[in-house]
Amino acid sequence: MIIQNLPLADAVLVDAEPFSDIRGIFSRFFCSRELAPVLGDRHIVNVNYSLTSMKGSIRGMHFQRKPHQEMKLVRCIRGAVYDVIVDIRPDSPTFLQWYGEMLSSNNMKMLVVPEGFAHGFQTLENDSELLYLATAHYEPSAEGGLRFDDSALGIQWPLVVGDISEKDASHPLIEGGSKLLDRFL
């Protein structure tokens, strides 16, 4: 596994090192030893799955409030998505900055979403599937979200927005960064 630092503080991208021969490909998707510099003393407690049927659909931008924040390791196992993270930690040097990366079953990249980040994606192909490895149990009362189209963030989605849930389309807009500490975290 090749771990690459991203422009947002504490966020990384993990490239697989697949082995291929005439039979096909073998690749390690997760290794606690190789990911120890990223995971620290955290442990994976959930492995979640999503299937998004329609190209152009958006899921997100989701996060968990303290004390239930989670690190997520996200990998596309079928199709392709444009995966986006936003740093919502008020004390971070990259506060309210976003980063997007194409994840696909072909490139086998894994995006590490640190605690204190919002996360979402847009499907680039029909029937795209993702696996999420999470370091904390989901707590519905700690769930939060940002609007995918908030002009304060300026996320540049690659496709016209297709399907989006009513819940995701109605997350609050950012009305000044300082309010995030009280409203979101």
Rounded mean pLDDT, 168-175? 88
Active site residue 99: no
pTM of the model: 0.91
Candidate list 62, 82, 99, 171, residue with the active-site label: 62
Candidate list 68, 119, 132, 171, residue with the active-site label: 132
pLDDT score of 28: 86
Q: What is the pLDDT of residues 39-66, one digit of tens each?
A: 999 999 999 999 999 999 999 999 999 9
- Binning pLDDT at 50, 70 and 90, where does residue 183 land? low
Q: What is the DSSP string of 46-98?
A: EEEEEEE-STT-EEEEEEE-TTS---EEEEEEESEEEEEEEE--TTSTTTT-E
Domain ranges of the chain: 2-183
> CA nearest 83: which of 106, 113, 38?
113
Q: What is the pLDDT of residues 98-127, one digit of tens each?
A: 999 999 999 999 999 999 999 999 999 999
Q: What is the pLDDT of residues 131-142, one digit of tens each?
A: 999 999 999 999
Active site residue 62: yes
Rounded mean pLDDT, 165-173? 92
CB count, 10 Å around CB of 25? 11
Of 3.40.190.10, 3.30.70.1730, 2.60.120.10, 2.60.40.10, the CATH number of 2-183 is: 2.60.120.10
> How far is Cα of residue 139 from the mean position of the Cα atoms in its chain?
17
